[in-house]
Structure 1
Amino acid sequence: MADVDFSVEGHVAKVHLNRPQGLNAITQEMDDLLFGAWQRINADPDIWAVILSAEGEKSFCIGADVSGGAERKTRMALGGGLTGIGGPLVTCKKPMVAAVQGFCVGGGFELAMCADIIVAADTAQFGLPETKVGIIGECGVVHRAIRQLPHHIALQLILTGERIKADQAFHYGLVNEVVSYADLAEAADKWAAKLNAASPLAVQAAKAAVLGRAGHPLEVALMSRFEEIEQYAETEDKKEGERAGVERRKPVWTGR
C-alpha cells in the first residue's frame, strides 16, 4: 500500500494518509501523491466531494517529515500545494471533509484547516508546536489559525505551542462535530453524503465565490460577479432543480 491511498466510492474521493509509523508526517513521495490526488479531484466531474483521513489512532498528521534533512528544491509544498506552504497554492474545488484523530499539529493542522468540514475524534489534539521547539519558517498555518479561531485563542496556540483538545476545538467553532474514534469514518461518510445531497455544481460555485472574496470587504464581495455562478445558470443541474421544484420531488443531480 502507498503512503497515500486514493480511491473513489460513488461520487466521493477518499484521500487517506497511510504512514502511521511516522505519525503520518508528509514525505516527499507523499507530497507528490497528494498533488496528483488534488489534480485528479479537480479535473474529474464525477467527483463531487472529498474525504481526507489518516491511518492510526495516534495521529492525523504532524506536518512535513524533516527526518531526511533539507527539502528538495522542486517540492510542490506540503500537501501538494493545498496549503501553499513554500510553493504554489492549489485550491481544491470540491467540498472537502477532514476526519481528524490524535495529533493534528503544525502542517498537519493546516492541512485539516484546508478542509471545508472538520470531523474530529474525541482523541484529537490541535496545536502549533513551532515556537515551543524554536522553529518558525514558512508558517502558513498561523495565518489560517488566526482566521478560523477566535483571535486570542489562535495567538495562545501560536505563541505558546500549547494544544487544544477536540471538545475545545468544537467550542471555538474550529470543528463541526466530535465523535468517538470508532465512529470517525462513518461520521465523515455522513458529511460527504450531506454535501452530495445538494447540487454538486452549485456547491462548487458557492465555494469558489466564498473563498474568492473571503479576504475582501463585504462591499467588494457584494459588488462582485462570479464566473462559476454565472456558468452554473446554464447547467443541466440548474434545470433539474427547477423541474424537481415544480414536480415536488427530490432532484436527481448529474453534475453536468
Structure 2
Amino acid sequence: MADVDFSVVGNVAHVRLNRPETLNAITSDMDDLLYEAWQTINDDPNIWCAILSAEGEKSFCIGADVSDFAARKTRMALAGGLTGIGGPLVTLKKPLIAAVQGFCVGGGFELAMCADIIVAADTAQFGLPETKVGIIGECGVVHRAVRQLPYHIAMAMILTGERMKSVDAERYGLVNQVVPYEDLEVAAQTWAEKINKAAPMANQAAKAAVNGRLGYPLEVALTTKFEVIEEYAGSIDQLEGAAAAAERRKPVWTGR
C-alpha cells in the first residue's frame, strides 16, 4: 500500500495517510501524492466531496517528517500545498471532511483545520507543540488556530504547547462531532452523504464565496459578485433543482 492511499467510492474521494509507524508524519513523497490527490479531486466532476483520514489509532498526523525534510534540498509544501506551507496555497474546490484520531499536532493540526468539517474520535488530541520544544518556523498553524478558536484559547495553546482533548475541541467549535474511535469512519461517511444530498456545484460555489471573502468586512462580501455562483446559474443541476421542486420529488444531481 502507498503512504497515501487514494480511492473514489461513488462521488466521494478518500485520501488516507498511511504511515502509522511514524504517526503519519508526512514525507516529501507523501507531499507529492497529496498534491496529486487534491488536483484529481478538483478536476473530476464526478467527485463531489472528499474525506481525509489516517491509518492507525495513535495518530492522525504529527506534521512533516523532520528527518526527511532535513535531507531534502527543496522546501516541502506540507500536504501538497493545501496548508500553504512551503509554497503556493492549493485551494480545494470540493468540500473536505477530516476524520481525526489520536495525535493531531503541528502541521497535522493545520492540515485538519484546512477541512470544512472535522469529525474527531474521542482519542483525538489537538496541539501546537512548537514553542514548547523551542522552535517556530512556518506559522500557518497559528494563524488558522486563532481564526478557528476563541482568541484566548488559541493563544493558550500556542504559548504553552499543551494539547486540547476532543471534547474541549467540540465545546469550542473546532470540531463538528466527537465519536468513539471505532465509529470514526462511519461518522465521516455519514457527513459525506449529508453533503452530497445538496447540489455539488452549489456547494462548491458556496465554499468559494465563503472563503473568497472570509477576511473582508461584511459590507464588502455582501457587494461582491462571485463568478462561481454566476456560472452555476443555468447549469444542469440548477435546472434539475427547479424541476424537482416543481414536481415535488427529490433532485437527481449530476455535478454539472
- Percent identical across equivalent pairs? 75
Equivalent residue number for residue 101 of structure 1: 101
Q: Give 1:71 shift.
A: 5.8
> Partner of 1:60: helix, strand, or coil?
strand
Partner of 2:247: 247
Q: What do residues 103-124 of structure 1 show as CA deviations (whole Å, max 9, x unaligned)?
A: 0000000000000000000000
The equivalent of 1:143 in structure 2 is 143
Cα RMSD after superposing both structures: 0.9
The question of whether the paired residues in 1 share the 8 Å contact of 2:28 and 2:68 is answered with: no
Q: How far did residue 67 of structure 1 move?
A: 1.7
What TM-score do the two structures reach when normalised by structure 1?
0.98
| Aligned residue type for 2:3 | D
1:197 is matched with 197
Cα shift at 1:76: 4.8
Alignment of 1:188-227 (within 5 A): 188-227=188-227
Local SS of the residue matching 2:80: coil
How many Å apart are 1:73 and its aligned residue? 4.5
The answer on whether the counterparts of 2:15 and 2:53 sit within 8 Å (CA) in structure 1 is yes
The answer for the alignment partner of 1:127 in structure 2 is 127
Match of 1:157 in 2: 157
Mapped to 2, the partners of 1:71 and 1:238 lie a distance apart of: 50
Residue matched to 2:182: 182
Query: Any stretches of 5+ residues in structure 1 without a counterpart?
Result: none
Correspondences of 1:41-60 after superposition (within 5 Å): 41-60=41-60
TM-score normalised by structure 2 residue count: 0.98
Equivalent-residue separation in structure 2 for 1:99 and 1:123 (angstroms): 12
Distance 1:225 1:71 in 2: 46
Task: Tell me, yes or no, if the aligned pair for 2:28 and 2:76 is still in contact at 8 Å.
Answer: no
**CA-to-partner distance for each residue in 1:154-179, whole Å, 9 max, x for gaps?**
00001100001000000000000000
Q: Is 2:84–2:140's contact at 8 Å kept on the other side of the alignment?
A: yes
- In structure 2, do the counterparts of structure 1 residues 226 and 250 end up closer, same or farther at CA, with 3 Å as the change threshold? same
SS at match of 1:36: helix
Is the partner of 1:126 in helix, strand or coil? Answer: strand
Write the distance in 1 (CA, Å) between the matches of 2:205 and 2:71. 36
The amino acid that maps onto 1:111 is: L
Tell me if structure 2 keeps the 8 A contact 1:76–1:88: no
3-state SS, counterpart of residue 138 of structure 1: coil
Q: Give the SS at the match of 2:85.
A: coil
Give ranges in structure 2 of 5+ residues lacking alignment: none
Is contact 1:52-1:96 (8 Å) kept? yes
Tell me what 2:78 maps to: 78
Q: In structure 2, how many angstroms separate the alpha carbons of the residues matched to 1:253 and 1:74?
A: 43
Cα distance in 2, alignment partners of residues 199 and 73 from structure 1? 44
Contact 2:38 2:92 in 1 (8 A): yes
